[in-house]
Chains A and B, each alone.
Chain A
Amino acid sequence: MTLTTSPTAQERLPRLTGKAGRYATVLLRTYGIVLAFAVLVAVVAASSPGFATRTNIFNLFSQWAPAGILAVAMTYVILAGGFDLSIASGFSLCAVTAAAIGRTEDPAVAFLAALAVGLAIGLVNGVLVEGAKINPFITTVGTGFILNGIALVATGNIAYVVDNPDFGTIGAGAWHGFPYSGMILIFCLVAGGLVLAKTVYGQSIYAVGGNAEASRLSGIRVGTTVGSTYVLSGLAMGVAGIIAASQLNSAQANIDPNIVFDVITIVVVGGTSLGGGIGSMWRTAVGLGIVATISNAFSLADINPFYQDIVKGCIIIGALALDAYARRLAGRTRTRPGPAAVPAHPDAPPGGGDRGS
């Protein structure tokens, strides 16, 4: 395997030559993000002795469970070609619902109510985007404002505190030290990944996000498929809201208005394309790992947390630049005739060249 600079490459792209070299290029393009994650973890572990400890890692799982679960659903929404910006206020409203009802009722009732609110939010978003054909960006910004308003009006922006200790089990409970919330997160990632990679439904999501018109002419229910991803997103708001309320034993409107940016960062950093149709759940898992590790590194190193935002911003832009770069490379592979014995796109969906899921 030799690394050469192709003399014709106008932009001096590093090119690996030969069949094995081409394969290596694809591997690197596809799994480069995993390598980046590994390097990041190694660096942070080496510089902060507090990082690679059982407690810290378990804490991270519990801390990032709500954002991670929302990111699982966001992966569906983005792969299908949409966008959901209502998740922050939807998540708060679900948390507030759980806490409000949990003050007097059984936690199970409170959690079911929160899930029902999430489901309703998802249905409304899905119907507006697919039924009324309003741009998803605008629709979900609008519903986000409405949901935030509802949460503020209903609570008067006062935190609901729950005294019932059972209420905190999901959020704060653990099995041999591993938090239940982390288990829920892992379950969502695995189940979400399997459905996406292995089912007819998952395939429809890729198809619809990749080319809605071709999918429609193939007889796929495009509207229902896209709409369903917003319902999933709504359900994720419910689950995430329950976990957050349960962790804090309380909830307030505006519980975490910036969570929407974290969630989008997680999905995009993993390498799922904002254009739809390209990406996968393992990428979201890696993206979550990267974002969580960086933010943890900042607090372990006791750096002013405000710097975090600067870094996050740089990461988002860097990830998108990488995505654009990979697409250009892929485009070049595509136009080159003759058999390329490797998948043409660095990240094809299941059934595409990418064998990971």
Chain B
Amino acid sequence: MVLRAQGIHKSFPGVRALHDVDFDLRAGEVHGLVGENGAGKSTLVKIITGAYDADAGLVEAFGHEVRHGDPRARRRAGIAAIYQEPTTVPEMSAAANVFLGRPQRRGPFVSRSDTHRAFRQLTTRLGLTIDPDVRAGSLSVANQQMLEIMRALVADHRILIMDEPTASLGPTERERLYEAIHGLREEGVATVYVSHNLDEVLALCDRVSVMRDGGLVATKPVERWTKESLVTAMLGHVLEKPPPQRRTIAEEVVLRVEGLSVPGVLEEISFTVHRGEILGLGGLVGSGRTELLRALAGADSDADGRLFVRGQERPWPRTVRSALALGIALAPEDRKAQGLVLSLSAAANVSLTDMRTVASGPLLRERRRLARAAEFMRPLAFDASRLSESAGSFSGGNQQKLVVGKWLHRRPDVLLMDEFTRGIDVGAKAELLAVVRRLAAEGMSIIIVSSELEELVEGADRVLVLARGRLIGELGHAEAAVERILRLVFEVEEEAEEGLAT
């Protein structure tokens, strides 16, 4: 056994991210780690690599306890991590990247010929053809990942952690990565393989662990898993909740989108949004969900398509302001980077969307601003006495409420909410979901995106499923179920793989 994590606990303010997790890794195995978004996979990986501290628990590598909070200690223990986004130095050569920090030297000088020779040995070992002198940044993502694998081999790392390494790879590149992983297994390297692609996990791994709600549900040899049993384990005991009243959606179409395309991201998307409807957008990360919302909100200017607002064709909005003029507003994915000005007060953030309403001419009316912010934030169960504190001092859930409150202030006809429950605790999630329902009941149309499919199924009147930038299905409230969405997505993913492979 090369790595053992025992009784790992980890909490973030308001969220229990990991609860009593035991995880072990054997030499020469590929260990799959699956679970829904938010199940705790990334947190576990970050604790193993030392990016995070565990609140409680023990991590041992090669029989030695690895001290908390010291990534370098873990690197010395021989753990390397490879992420979806490569971490190569783009301006340096491929060979220089591989030998970063461990130059092949002769005396004080870096030896070019030794470097090249060692680089070629590695490429042969992995069955690759990469020019040692090529600029790393000019290589494909797949080849950059190969450089990282080579870097791990040079450092003689015995544990490799791969977090969704194939998410941005084409089928042939994936094959090559699988081969490389097989090769590493032969050499006794242990690999933790995190992926959403269940087929891939079943084909590649020796053992698979499933995480759910911050706990490790089960670890079994791959033969004892099937795709179905993995999905069930990931979702837990799915209770078929009765739909919370069949809501009747108005016939009135607020928004009709025809042939929306964003070069390289979205292809010919068409759909309608009714008045007072909650429309869910489902799909994997990278399926184009965020891009679809951003295109509608005028946040990306290279979108093109036909847009009908209440039956009347309008030019596609190319700026946020023109989308707002059409009554379309975006509550973005990343509340800290895109949603809030953290240095401004909560009240100031809420009024930012429509400062005229809290001003007389050019003069801001601080009292009116506080009153209005309180008016919108109180129904969201937000402590109005804290409205003059800076937005940065609030918890994730309260910040998300501020992002919603901003748009209550402006009252758009269509509100787009990207990952509206990301990183907030269960209680705040339920409150936000209730707010969304109430807004819809008041006639606002809402498009929600969430990586947590259960939330879409529960909250949305209708779910559109996206895969690879195309709209691949539409499920009504009655038919929407997590399994159906996943099945739709995986069918398309597989077809695309096969289509590209031939």
Contact = CB atoms under 8 A, between A and B. Distances in A.
Interface of A: 198-204, 206-207, 210-211, 213-221, 277-278, 330, 333-335, 337, 339-340, 343-345, 348-353
A219 B269 CA distance: 26
B347 interface: yes
Contacts of A206: 341, 343-344, 348
A351 B343 contact: no
B344 A199 contact: no
**Size band of the interface chain B makes with A:** 35 or more
B390 A343 contact: yes
The 6 residue pairs across chains A and B that have the minimum distance between CB atoms: A344-B393, A210-B341, A351-B348, A337-B13, A210-B343, A211-B341
A296 B332 CA distance: 52
B362 A201 contact: yes
A353 B321 contact: no
B337 to A, nearest CB: 6
A199 B299 CA distance: 27
Contacts of A217: 297, 299, 320, 330, 332, 338-339
B209 to A, nearest CB: 30
Contacts of B359: 199-200
Contacts of B338: 211, 213-214, 217
A199 B364 contact: yes
Interface stretch (B49-57, B169-177, B350-358): B350-358
Contacts of B410: 219
A203 B393 CA distance: 19
B252 interface: no
Given A203-B355, A210-B343, 13 more contacts: A198-B363, A200-B362, A211-B341, A217-B297, A218-B320, A218-B352, A219-B354, A277-B341, A334-B392, A340-B393, A343-B390, A351-B344, A353-B390
B395 interface: yes
Contacts of B324: 219
A150 to B, nearest CB: 35
Contacts, number: 123
B493 interface: no
Interface string B6-35: 000000011000000000000000000000
A344 B337 CA distance: 18
A275 B342 CA distance: 13
B406 interface: yes
B156 interface: no
A277 to B, nearest CB: 5
A190 to B, nearest CB: 15
A335 B389 contact: no
B342 A219 contact: no
B84 to A, nearest CB: 22
A281 to B, nearest CB: 15
Contacts of B386: 339
Given A207-B341, A213-B337, A337-B13, A352 B348 contact: yes
Given A218-B353, A344-B392, A353-B389, A199 B320 contact: no
A349 B344 contact: yes
B344 A337 contact: no
A339 B392 CA distance: 13
Given A219-B320, A344-B392, A199 B341 contact: no
Interface in B349-382: 352-356, 359, 362-364, 366, 369
Nearest to B324: A219
Best-surrounded residue of A199, A215, A340, A348 (most CB of chain B within 10 A): A348
A128 to B, nearest CB: 21
Nearest to B410: A219
B342 A199 contact: no
Nearest to A216: B320
A304 to B, nearest CB: 42
A242 B364 CA distance: 33
A345 B362 contact: no
A200 B355 contact: yes
Best-surrounded residue of A211, A216, A345 (most CB of chain B within 10 A): A211
B298 to A, nearest CB: 9
A348 B345 contact: yes
A49 B486 CA distance: 82
A211 B406 CA distance: 15
Contact of B406 (A218, A330, A351): A218
Contacts of B362: 199-201
A60 to B, nearest CB: 33
Contact of B13 (A202, A221, A335): A335
Contacts of A351: 344-345, 347-348, 364, 366, 369, 388
Contact of B14 (A207, A214, A337, A339): A337
Contact of A211 (B337, B356, B390, B393): B337
Contact of A334 (B330, B355, B364, B393): B393
24 contacts: A198-B363, A199-B364, A206-B343, A207-B344, A207-B352, A210-B343, A210-B344, A211-B338, A216-B299, A219-B320, A219-B353, A220-B352, A221-B321, A277-B344, A333-B393, A334-B392, A334-B393, A344-B392, A345-B390, A348-B390, A349-B348, A350-B366, A351-B344, A353-B388
A274 B163 CA distance: 37
B390 A198 contact: no
B460 interface: no
A210 B392 CA distance: 11
A278 B343 contact: yes
Contact of A214 (B340, B356, B389, B390): B340
A158 B24 CA distance: 80
B364 A198 contact: yes
B40 to A, nearest CB: 20
Contacts of A277: 341, 343-344
A203 B348 CA distance: 8
B447 to A, nearest CB: 15
Nearest to A219: B324
B398 to A, nearest CB: 10
Nearest to A277: B343
A345 to B, nearest CB: 5
A201 B362 CA distance: 7
A220 B389 CA distance: 22
A211 B299 CA distance: 15
Contacts of A201: 362
Contacts of A344: 389-390, 392-393
A211 B336 CA distance: 9
Contacts of B297: 217
Contacts of B406: 218
A349 B343 contact: yes
A240 B393 CA distance: 40
A353 B345 contact: yes
Contacts of B320: 216-219
Best-surrounded residue of A218, A337, A348, A353 (most CB of chain B within 10 A): A218
Best-surrounded residue of A217, A221, A339 (most CB of chain B within 10 A): A217
Contacts of B344: 206-207, 210, 277, 348-349, 351-352
A278 B392 CA distance: 13
Nearest to A342: B389
Contacts of B341: 206-207, 210-211, 214-215, 277
Contact of A348 (B321, B343, B366, B369): B343
A344 B299 CA distance: 31
B339 A214 contact: yes
A54 B420 CA distance: 62
A213 B337 CA distance: 7
